[in-house]
């Protein structure tokens, strides 16, 4: 079966959540000899390998299919208004084209499958970058009509897509994200953890948030809860708060909160963390904090659980579905609940051990191999 992947998302720049999901799906499919895989991407005035890590995928047997005569940003701006066929850039030699980032452009040959991760732009529009929000408002309904099948990552997200876009439930298949258990595991040594901590200038124990610094992740309430924890335990050694990840939309207010509360000495901003360091920092953390306002799935808590680290996350959206009873669920709007959960893991060693073991066991259920088997079944039905 000939499968093409729209690959701009994961071939360019530092990967974030959706990019890593796409990366794992491509590699898992490419490992099956039944599938002839290729990556579609626009590489305007770029030589292969000069900017895009094509060799990383070629070694898995994935063929590269670049368009070198058109710019990706121009295409993104133009196609919602002028339906230039996708096939004009990437050809027609495919049975299925897989899109990973919500939208399906016009003029794609063969069957079209897309992954719609969440409905944040509808449910929490104030937390989504206005350009992203406008883009999805402009393109997503038409994309869902063009798609022959829609994949989403949780039962919660499926219900949200039906609710907000009016898509028929039978057109949507739930394929949970997986965890790379070769990367996310509890067996990192103390020496490896200390080396990673030294690289990111972390000393002593720490609470960890890892993800994009943006409003939807609820980081300002985490900072407020942490400040209360410090003030209510004056004279006690409180683990540092490590906020790791790249700057997203409206990140300035996060830095301003730390400055306003005068806790700069206790809070560490690491910036973007290299992929190989992420699980090591997760393993070393006292707890992983992820009280997000809204998630279609929520990969970071699952990855932290796979590392045996206690997780504090939200009791809403998809997060209870993913975490189950293997984490501490809090109201993300309650600073008191977030603070109380942090105090609990700080003081209760037995609780930490119990959550760590439960998390490891639950994470074993989420593998990319299992997830991609669901995707293969969708492909078989279409072809």
CA 11 – CA 19 distance, rounded (Å)? 8
- Integer-rounded Cα Rg, in Å, for the chain is 21
Segment 259-304, tens digit of pLDDT: 999 999 999 999 999 989 999 999 999 999 999 999 999 999 999 9
Residue with tokens 């707890």: 287
CATH of the domain at 268: 3.40.50.2000
Segment 140-161, tens digit of pLDDT: 999 999 999 999 999 999 999 9
Over pLDDT 70: what percentage of the chain?
Answer: 97
* The pLDDT of residue 17: 79
Look up the domain containing 203 and give its range.
190-363
Give pTM, 2 decimals.
0.90
Give rounded-to-5 percent helix, strand, coil for the chain: 45, 15, 40
Residues 22, 39, 151: CA angle, nearest 5 degrees: 40
Segment 187-226, tens digit of pLDDT: 999 999 999 999 999 999 999 999 988 888 999 999 999 9
On whether both 28 and 174 belong to a single domain, the answer is yes
DSSP string, 44-84: TT--TTTSS-HHHHHTTTPEEEEE-SS-HHHHHHHTTTS--
Q: Say if 215 falls within a structural domain.
A: yes
Alpha-helical segments (H) within the chain: 8-11, 17-30, 54-58, 72-78, 87-90, 120-123, 130-146, 155-165, 190-199, 219-232, 252-260, 278-284, 299-306, 319-323, 335-347, 349-363, 368-382
On whether both 312 and 300 belong to a single domain, the answer is yes
CA 155 – CA 159 distance, rounded (Å)? 6
Overall domain count for the chain: 2
On whether both 246 and 286 belong to a single domain, the answer is yes
CA 95 – CA 109 distance, rounded (Å)? 8
Q: Say if 183 falls within a structural domain.
A: no
On whether both 267 and 345 belong to a single domain, the answer is yes
Q: Say if 172 falls within a structural domain.
A: yes
* The pLDDT of residue 49: 45
The lowest-confidence range among 70-79, 174-183, 360-369 is 70-79
Residues 1, 68, 26: CA angle, nearest 5 degrees: 35
b/e code 197-218 from CB counts within 10 Å (16+ = b): beebebeeebbbbbbbbbbbbb
On whether both 377 and 326 belong to a single domain, the answer is no
């Amino acid at each position: 079966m000939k499968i093409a992947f729209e690959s701009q998302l994961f071939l360019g720049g530092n990967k974030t959540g959706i990019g890593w999901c796409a990366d794992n799906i491509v590699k898992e499919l490419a490992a099956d000899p039944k599938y002839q895989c290729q990556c579609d991407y626009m590489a305007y005035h770029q030589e292969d390998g000069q900017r895009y890590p094509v060799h990383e995928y070629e070694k898995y047997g994935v063929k590269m299919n670049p368009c070198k005569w058109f710019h990706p940003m121009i295409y993104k701006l133009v196609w919602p208004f002028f339906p230039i066929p996708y096939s004009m850039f990437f050809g027609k030699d495919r049975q299925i084209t897989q899109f990973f980032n919500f939208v399906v452009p016009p003029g794609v040959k063969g069957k079209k499958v897309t992954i719609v991760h969440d409905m944040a732009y509808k449910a929490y529009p104030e937390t989504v970058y206005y350009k992203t929000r406008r883009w999805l408002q402009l393109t997503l309904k038409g994309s869902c009509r063009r798609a022959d099948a829609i994949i989403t990552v949780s039962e919660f997200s499926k219900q949200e897509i039906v609710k907000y876009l009016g898509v028929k439930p039978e057109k949507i298949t739930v394929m949970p994200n997986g965890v790379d258990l070769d990367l996310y595991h509890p067996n990192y040594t103390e020496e490896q953890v200390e080396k990673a901590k030294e690289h990111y200038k972390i000393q002593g124990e720490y609470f960890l948030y890892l993800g994009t610094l943006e409003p939807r992740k609820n980081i300002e309430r985490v900072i407020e809860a942490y400040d209360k924890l410090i003030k209510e335990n004056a004279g006690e050694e409180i683990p540092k708060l490590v906020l790791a990840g790249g700057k997203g939309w409206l990140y300035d207010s996060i830095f301003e909160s730390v400055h306003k509360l005068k806790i700069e000495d206790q809070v560490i901003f690491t910036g973007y963390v290299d992929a190989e360091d992420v699980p090591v920092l997760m393993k070393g953390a006292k707890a992983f904090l992820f009280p997000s306002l809204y998630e279609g799935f929520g990969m970071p808590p699952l990855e932290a659980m796979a590392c045996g680290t206690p997780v504090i996350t939200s009791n809403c959206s998809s997060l209870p579905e993913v975490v189950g009873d293997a984490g501490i669920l809090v109201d993300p709007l309650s600073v008191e609940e977030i603070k109380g959960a942090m105090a609990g893991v700080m003081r209760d060693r037995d609780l930490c051990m119990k959550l760590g073991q439960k998390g490891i066991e639950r994470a074993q259920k989420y593998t990319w191999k299992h997830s991609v088997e669901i995707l293969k079944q969708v492909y078989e039905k279409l072809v």
